[in-house]
Structure 1
Amino acid sequence: MTERLNSAQPYVLGLFRIVVGLLFFCHGASSLFGAFGGTDGNGATVDAGTWPGWYAAAIQLVGGVLVLLGLGTRAAAFVSSGSMAYAYFKVHQPEELWPIQNGGEASAMFCWAMLLLVFTGAGAFSVDRLIAAARGERGQKAADADDNGRAPIAA
């Protein structure tokens, strides 16, 4: 049973990355363009260039697309995670301690989900993996290995 679950890990991780990236993108599109009801549910958007809202939304839009596609996943997830940590500690946490009290649940969840992708990588179904495969078998092995060139650990 454990072997079956382990063999599915790259695919489930890939699906996790796709869902997190899509939701992150939608959050940014909502803030920047009023898509999906905008920031207030009535199509309102953040004003261009305003700190920190507009920059956070731009990171969400671009980072979400990159994570969704699995293109530069670790770097995009790192920047996105940092953006959400900033949002939580500077915007939400000063109001109340707990995310449920201060409205920071999304920021906290996105922060930790993106941080997980920094350490796990893109999983299956990623553009990075396609690029590595196009470079040949050596590139595919590199896509399957961690940053130190070690093969993934199988439990």
Structure 2
Amino acid sequence: MNRWAPVYLSVLRIVIGVLFALHGAAAFWGLFGGRQSSPEVFAWPSWWGAVIQLVGGLLVAAGAGTRPAAIITSGSMAYAYFAFHAGDGLSPLANDGELSVLYCWVLLLFGFTGAGPISVDAVIGRLRAGDRDEVIVASDRAEARDQAESAV
């Protein structure tokens, strides 16, 4: 079961990222039955929150720049909770802040764990590791050629 844990975390990250992005898309365009709020461009916090949800959610879902995107989106949910929900009491059950709390903590988890194996970050990491291997192999060949030339 433990060997599948990174895959499950990747799947959870994708689901959370897509759902989070849908909140941003709903704010801008009212997609998928969401409540369109049509925030005024650059208006704080509605427009910026929707941008963070849309862009951050897509980045988290794709696993691209996951750690910074997850930290920023987690922080935006912490802000949302304290700015819009905590005024009605600190209990998320009483102030309808459960979703903000869940997103905050799950996104913070991805800030610490990273994207997992099913992600753009993992592909980039594998490509970089391949480049290092090619550099090492090339340097080994150059060293072998130098040794062969010095033996002649």
TM-score normalised to the size of structure 2? 0.81
Tell me the distance in 2 between the aligned counterparts of 1:136 and 1:60. Answer: 32
Is the counterpart of residue 30 in structure 1 residue 26 in structure 2? yes
Q: Considering only aligned residues, what root-mean-square deviation do their CA atoms show, in Å?
A: 1.7
Which residue pairs with 2:5 in the alignment?
Answer: 9
One-letter code of the match for 2:30? G
One-letter code of the match for 1:107? S
Which structure 2 residue ranges, 5 or more long, are not aligned?
A: 134-152
Question: Could you list the per-position Cα deviations for residues 28-57 of structure 1 after superposition, in whole angstroms to 9, with x for gaps in the alignment?
Answer: 101112112232xxx443333222111111
Matches within 5 A, 1:10-89: 10-39=6-35, 43-89=36-82
- For residue 139 of structure 1, report the CA deviation from its aligned partner: 6.7
Tell me the distance in 1 between the aligned counterparts of 2:105 and 2:84. Answer: 17
Asked whether the equivalents of residues 38 and 45 of structure 1 are also in contact (C-alpha less than 8 Å), the reply is no
Asked whether the equivalents of residues 133 and 139 of structure 1 are also in contact (C-alpha less than 8 Å), the reply is no
One-letter code of the match for 1:36? F
Is the counterpart of residue 127 in structure 1 residue 120 in structure 2? yes
SS at match of 2:88: coil
One-letter code of the match for 1:32? F
SS at match of 1:94: helix
- For residue 137 of structure 1, report the CA deviation from its aligned partner: 4.2
Tell me the distance in 2 between the aligned counterparts of 1:23 and 1:62. Answer: 12
Aligned residue pairs: how many? 133
Tell me the distance in 1 between the aligned counterparts of 2:2 and 2:131. Answer: 23
Question: Could you list the per-position Cα deviations for residues 107-155 of structure 1 after superposition, in whole angstroms to 9, with x for gaps in the alignment?
Answer: 1110001000011111121001111112234779xxxxxxxxxxxxxxx
Question: Could you list the per-position Cα deviations for residues 53-81 of structure 1 after superposition, in whole angstroms to 9, with x for gaps in the alignment?
Answer: 11111000000000000000000000000
Compare CA radii of gyration and give the structure with the larger one: 2
Matches within 5 A, 1:86-105: 86-105=79-98
Tell me the distance in 1 between the aligned counterparts of 2:4 and 2:16. Answer: 18
Asked whether the equivalents of residues 14 and 126 of structure 1 are also in contact (C-alpha less than 8 Å), the reply is yes
